C-alpha cells in the first residue's frame, strides 16, 4: 500500500503492522483440528461476484501465494491473523485487482511476458518511492496489480510523437514542475475501531456525500471551514482547518493513486481563486481537496522530465483502458466477510 504523510495514518499503519506481526507470531491453536476447520471455512468464504460466477478467498490467495510463499504459512497457521487479513484494506485491494484480471481475461487481453512484468514492477515501485525496490518485494506486495498493469501497458506505445508528449505535458505542468497549496477533507475507507475495510455500499455512501459537499462548496452554499469541521475523518488536518500545506506530485509520503488523480489536467493557466477537486478515491481514503494556490517554475524545459511525462501519459492511457473494459462489468466485492 502507499504511504502517507499524515502522522495519524503513520501511527495507524505502524499499529496495523505490529498487530499483524503479533498475531502471525502467536503459536498455532492447541486444537489443530479445530484450527484447520476454521481455516477451511475462511478459505471458502465468498469475496467476489462477477458476472454469473462467484469467487472465494481461496481463489485470491492462489494468485498471491506464488509471489509471497511466506504468506501461506502466516495465514493458515493462525485464524485470528487470517481473519484480520481477509478483512483488511490490503486484501480488499487484492480482490479488486483480481476482478480486473478477470476482465482482461474476458476480453482476451494477452498475458504479459516475464520481462514486461519485471519492467512494470520496477516502475510501480519507483512511482511510490524514490529508492529502487527489488522486483520480488514489489510482487510480494502487489503481484496481481502489477501483472494486470503489465498486460495493459503492453497495449500502450513505448514512445510517443513529440506532439503527443508536448500536449500531455502542457495539460498538466504542475505535475512535473510545480506544487499545490491545499487543504482537504478526507474520510477513511476503513473502520477506525476494527481496521476492517468498508463495504462497497459504505464506500459509495461516503463518495456521494463528499460529492454533494463539493457541489455545495462550489455553489457558495457551504463554507470550507464548516465542511471540514463536520465531515473530515482526518483528525490531524481537521484541527488545522483541513490545511496540509504544499503538495508535490512525487511526494511519496502520500497515497500514490490519490496524487496521480489530484495533479491531472491543470494545464498552463493558473486559476485566480481556490478550486475544489474531488471526490478522489484513493487506496485508503476518499478525498475532497481545496486547492488554494498553484505554483509553477515558469518557463520550463520538457527535456528535463521527458521520461516522467511518457510514464504519466502511458499511465493515463492504461487507466482509461481499464475503465473502458470495466464499464460494463457486473461485479461486487463481498467484503468484509461476516465473522459472526
| pLDDT confidence of residue 298 | 66
Give the pLDDT score at 93: 97
- Domains in the chain, start-ordered, CATH in brackets? 8-155+327-333 (no CATH), 167-296 (3.10.50.40)
CB 266 within 8 A of CB 172: yes
Give residues with Cβ within 8 angstroms of 40, minimum separation 6.
none
CA nearest to 81, candidates 25, 10, 11: 25
DSSP code at position 243: E
- Identify the H or E element spanning 157: none
**CB half-sphere exposure, 252, CA atoms < 13 A:** 10
55 near 48, Cβ under 8 Å?
A: yes
For 115, the enclosing helix (H) or strand (E) is: helix 114-128
**Residues 304, 170: Cα–Cα separation, whole Å:** 14
Distances, alpha carbon 296 to alpha carbons 90, 146, 299, in Å: 35, 32, 9
- All residue ranges of the chain with pLDDT < 70 are 1-34, 130, 132, 298-299, 339-340
Instruction: Say what the pLDDT of residue 36 is.
Output: 87
Distances (CA, A) of 260 to 48, 249, 311: 27, 7, 11
The pLDDT value recorded for residue 340 is: 55
Q: pLDDT per residue over 236-257, tens digit each? A: 999 999 999 999 998 888 889 9
Amino acid at each position: 500500500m502507499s504511504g502517507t504523510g499524515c502522522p495519524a495514518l503513520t501511527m495507524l499503519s505502524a499499529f496495523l503492522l505490529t498487530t499483524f506481526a503479533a498475531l502471525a507470531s502467536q503459536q498455532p491453536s492447541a486444537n489443530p483440528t479445530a484450527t484447520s476447520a476454521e481455516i477451511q471455512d475462511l478459505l471458502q468464504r465468498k469475496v467476489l461476484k462477477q458476472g454469473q460466477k462467484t469467487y472465494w478467498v481461496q481463489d485470491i490467495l492462489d494468485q498471491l501465494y506464488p509471489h509471497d510463499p511466506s504468506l501461506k504459512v502466516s495465514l493458515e497457521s493462525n485464524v485470528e491473523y487470517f481473519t484480520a487479513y481477509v478483512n483488511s484494506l490490503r486484501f480488499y485491494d487484492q480482490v479488486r485487482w483480481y476482478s480486473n484480471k478477470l476482465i482482461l481475461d474476458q476480453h482476451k487481453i494477452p498475458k504479459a511476458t516475464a520481462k514486461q512484468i519485471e519492467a512494470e514492477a520496477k516502475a510501480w515501485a519507483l512511482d511510490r518511492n524514490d529508492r529502487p525496490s527489488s522486483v520480488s518485494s514489489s510482487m510480494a506486495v502487489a503481484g496481481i496489480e502489477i501483472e494486470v498493469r503489465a498486460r495493459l501497458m503492453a497495449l500502450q506505445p513505448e514512445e510517443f510523437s513529440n506532439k503527443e508528449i508536448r500536449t500531455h505535458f502542457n495539460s498538466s505542468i504542475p505535475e512535473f514542475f510545480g506544487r499545490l497549496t491545499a487543504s482537504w477533507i478526507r474520510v477513511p475507507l476503513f473502520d477506525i475501531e476494527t481496521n476492517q475495510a468498508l463495504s462497497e455500499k459504505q464506500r459509495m455512501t461516503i463518495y456521494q456525500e463528499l460529492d454533494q459537499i463539493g457541489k455545495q462548496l462550489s455553489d457558495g452554499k457551504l463554507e470550507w471551514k464548516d465542511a471540514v469541521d463536520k465531515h473530515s475523518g482526518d483528525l490531524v488536518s481537521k484541527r488545522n482547518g483541513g490545511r496540509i500545506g504544499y503538495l508535490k506530485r512525487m511526494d511519496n509520503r502520500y497515497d500514490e493513486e490519490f496524487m496521480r488523480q489530484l495533479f491531472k489536467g491543470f494545464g498552463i493557466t493558473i486559476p485566480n481563486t481556490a478550486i475544489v477537486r474531488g471526490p478522489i478515491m484513493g487506496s485508503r481514503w476518499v478525498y475532497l481537496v481545496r486547492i488554494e494556490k498553484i505554483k509553477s517554475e515558469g518557463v520550463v524545459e520538457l527535456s528535463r522530465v521527458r521520461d516522467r511525462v511518457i510514464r504519466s501519459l502511458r499511465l493515463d492511457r492504461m487507466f482509461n483502458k481499464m475503465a473502458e473494459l470495466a464499464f460494463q462489468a457486473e461485479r461486487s466485492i463481498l467484503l468484509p466477510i461476516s465473522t459472526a
